[in-house]
Structure 1
Amino acid sequence: MNHVHLVIPDLFLPKNFAADTLASSHLPALAKLLARGIVTRVGNPISLEASLSKLFGQIDAEYAPIAAIGATYDGLPQGNWLRADPINLRLQRDQMVLSAVSPSAEEARQFCSSLNAYFAGQGMEFFAPHPLRWYLRLDKSLGIQTTPLPELFGCNIRSVLPTGLDATHWHQVFNEIQMLLYAHPINAAREARGESPINSVWFWGEGDANQALRCDFQQVNSDDELVKMFAVATDTRFTEWSPHWCGADGTQLLVWAGLRSAMQRGDLAVWRDALSAFEIGYAQPLWQALQSGKIAQINLEVLAGNNSRCFKLTRSATWSFWRRSKPLA
């Protein structure tokens, strides 16, 4: 039978602005999926990275080795890997707020060259196979726990710095990198062009590279490259996200990160428009397929921090008329 597991980060907005954002939206199919589904899980996992780790077999680990998975995907050799992605940090009152940056490939190369010169002989080597994905290869395994970068855009980082046995050392490395990049000539050129300086990196993605991944889905569809990395690592058929659902053949994992990217930019208008397009392209055909029996079951996983929910729907849910749809707000 055909089963669909649908993962949507950032579907639930904070209550203080949800009503205004959704006031003009018409989302009948999505509202039915939420209202008529049986809640099977509340809370954990709270992020896309944690959800993917569980969906791809990491039952006992909080996170899969995302840095090692990405390094293989990006053509780097095996090793002890940590993501060291470029970021901007700016002081806002008493908070240090993290923002995204978009360096060019040449800027990424030059930054990593400077970092490697500074940390030469310390068992650390930086790589930038992709302008937005930088990696740090280490001579020894890590003794820290980190927070995934995608969870932190627009957030104060003071309370989410690495923890663990080696945390003090990595806090020092973090500070040294900031001092090095602050005075880098590339940043002077970026600021002259009106671009945000790249004044730090964010360490994340640690995990045991020997952990075995597995995928119980026959096909995976997503607009998020991290999902593609997991699919490639498990030799699972992957297709890029389409504006319209193309049907299910067997078990299908759908991961839609369109709302997440809009929320990271703080663009509620784009968030609302993306949700309206999802209603037409996915929610409506999925509901119709469940109603007609083309799909036996839908698991809808909404990732929203501690308010995360997982809903289970079978065909009988489409007949549960007493479960009246409620507005997302």
Structure 2
Amino acid sequence: MNAKLPRMNHLHLIVPVLFLPAQASSAALAGLRLPHWEQLLARSAHSILPPAALEARLSDVFGVKGLAPLRARADGLAVCEGYWLCADPVELQMQPSQVMLQPEVAGTEAEAQALCATLNAHFVQEGLRFFAPHPQRWYVQAQTPGEAVMTPLRAAAWRDVKALMPQGNDARRWWRLGNEIQMLLHQHPVNVARQQDGKPVINSLWLWGGGSASVPQPACDAVGGLDALTLRCAQASGVALPGDLHALLSSARERGLWVDAGLQDAWQRGDLFAHRTGLEQLENEIAAPVWQSLRKGRLNTLTLEVPTETALHRFELTRADCWKIWRRRRPLTVYPE
């Protein structure tokens, strides 16, 4: 007699920008076959909630008020005191009517340390300390909590940032500090050398994810996906990392989380071909195995969340819902608002 296969109770799946805006959706998806996505969506209970960025959803899932301390802990920093923000190095490209943000400028460890040393010397009276445990992941520690709403780097990437500056009671302070940071970086020897070598300059830091250190309270016991931020949050929270979706679905975990932000990254770059290719890949690598796991009884329930720029789409599906054949499949083009 065959041994009983393990069953996962619940899978929380987050796929930002699974749906494109209506004006782009029809052309981008023309001729694309996505039967498993269509089945999952059609058989689910669909609700439309106010917009929430992926980073906000991750904060909720991991039970923290800001992702910066969690990511910093995963990068090896002691974050027991103070208020922490991600301060990631970027290049602001000045154009006639826009200021475009190029993310993830590839610097070296030595360059990062030299730039941080200059920032720390200048901002000592402000009570700020800068850290660069990774050349592309920097942090700033403040002595007091801030009251400003800041746009995550992912949402600002490749966009005009003039409308994405900090908002809230402390916004003016962070605008001033941001201007000072840019002035310090602009003529720094590191950037002079990079410019001479034809490399992108590190002329600003993008601040986001602010929060004070707290004990994570994750609403999941296993996490996977292709999103580096999600995996670092899981690592810092002590949550299991199964490695791939098959291993996650084959486990007997109570609540699993799987995140894939590749479609959002493609959309942010304006690359509709990459979005289309990625969607086709996710049809085979995510939608199909999840649908099959539900139908075969190896997964009890699914929550699929699709953050877009205008809404958070939530789809709730149980194993029993899979057999509601009167809920006919519809193309993904019907879901954008």
Q: Output one character per residue of 1:124-156: Cα deviation in whole Å (capped at 9) or x when no partner.
A: 121100111111122333233322211111222
2-structure distance, mates of 1:22, 1:195:
36
1-structure distance, mates of 2:67, 2:219:
19
- 181, 186, 193: which one aligns with 1:182: 186
- Tell me the secondary structure at the aligned position of residue 211 of structure 2: coil
Q: Does 1:28 align with 2:35?
A: yes
The number of residues matched between the two structures is: 322
1-structure distance, mates of 2:274, 2:55:
23
Quote the residue 1:49 is aligned against: 55
2-structure distance, mates of 1:237, 1:45:
29
Q: Is the 8 A contact 1:244 1:282 kept in 2?
A: no
> Please, what is the CA RMSD of the aligned residues?
2.2
Q: Output one character per residue of 1:145-201: Cα deviation in whole Å (capped at 9) or x when no partner.
A: 322211111222222222233322221111111112121232233333333221111
Quote the residue 1:140 is aligned against: 144
Quote the residue 2:26 is aligned against: 19
Quote the residue 1:230 is aligned against: 233
Q: Output one character per residue of 1:77-116: Cα deviation in whole Å (capped at 9) or x when no partner.
A: 2232221111111233322222212222222122212222
Identify unmatched segments of 5+ residues in structure 1: 59-63
Quote the residue 2:5 is aligned against: none
Q: Does 1:298 align with 2:305?
A: no
Q: Does 1:239 align with 2:242?
A: yes
2-structure distance, mates of 1:289, 1:68:
35
Code of the aligned partner of 1:43 = L
1-structure distance, mates of 2:251, 2:269:
32
The verdict on how the C-alpha distance between 1:164 and 1:307 changes in structure 2, with shifts beyond 3 A counting, is closer
Quote the residue 1:200 is aligned against: 204
Quote the residue 1:71 is aligned against: 72
1-structure distance, mates of 2:270, 2:171:
31
Code of the aligned partner of 2:61 = L
Moved more, 19-28 or 283-292: 19-28
Sequence identity (%) = 39
Q: Output one character per residue of 1:49-90: Cα deviation in whole Å (capped at 9) or x when no partner.
A: 1111222235xxxxx221111222111122322211111112
Code of the aligned partner of 2:57 = S
Code of the aligned partner of 1:315 = R
Moved more, 108-117 or 128-137: 108-117
The verdict on how the C-alpha distance between 1:321 and 1:134 changes in structure 2, with shifts beyond 3 A counting, is same
Code of the aligned partner of 2:75 = D
Superposition map of 1:36-115 within 5 A:
36-39=43-46, 41-44=47-50, 46-57=52-63, 64-78=65-79, 79-80=81-82, 81-100=84-103, 101-115=105-119
Q: Does 1:314 align with 2:322?
A: no
Code of the aligned partner of 1:34 = L
1-structure distance, mates of 2:264, 2:24:
16
Q: Does 1:159 align with 2:159?
A: no
- 212, 216, 221: which one aligns with 1:218: 221
Q: TM-score, normalising length from structure 1?
A: 0.90
Identify unmatched segments of 5+ residues in structure 2: 1-7
2-structure distance, mates of 1:107, 1:125:
17
Moved more, 117-126 or 198-207: 117-126
Q: TM-score, normalising length from structure 2?
A: 0.88
The verdict on how the C-alpha distance between 1:228 and 1:113 changes in structure 2, with shifts beyond 3 A counting, is same
2-structure distance, mates of 1:239, 1:289:
17
Code of the aligned partner of 2:272 = L
Q: Is the 8 A contact 1:181 1:187 kept in 2?
A: yes
- 271, 279, 292: which one aligns with 1:288: 292
2-structure distance, mates of 1:261, 1:239:
24
Quote the residue 2:177 is aligned against: 173
Code of the aligned partner of 1:31 = E
The verdict on how the C-alpha distance between 1:234 and 1:77 changes in structure 2, with shifts beyond 3 A counting, is closer
2-structure distance, mates of 1:116, 1:233:
26
4+ residue segments displaced more than 4 Å:
241-246
Q: Is the 8 A contact 2:234 2:241 kept in 1?
A: yes
2-structure distance, mates of 1:116, 1:90:
25
Code of the aligned partner of 1:69 = L
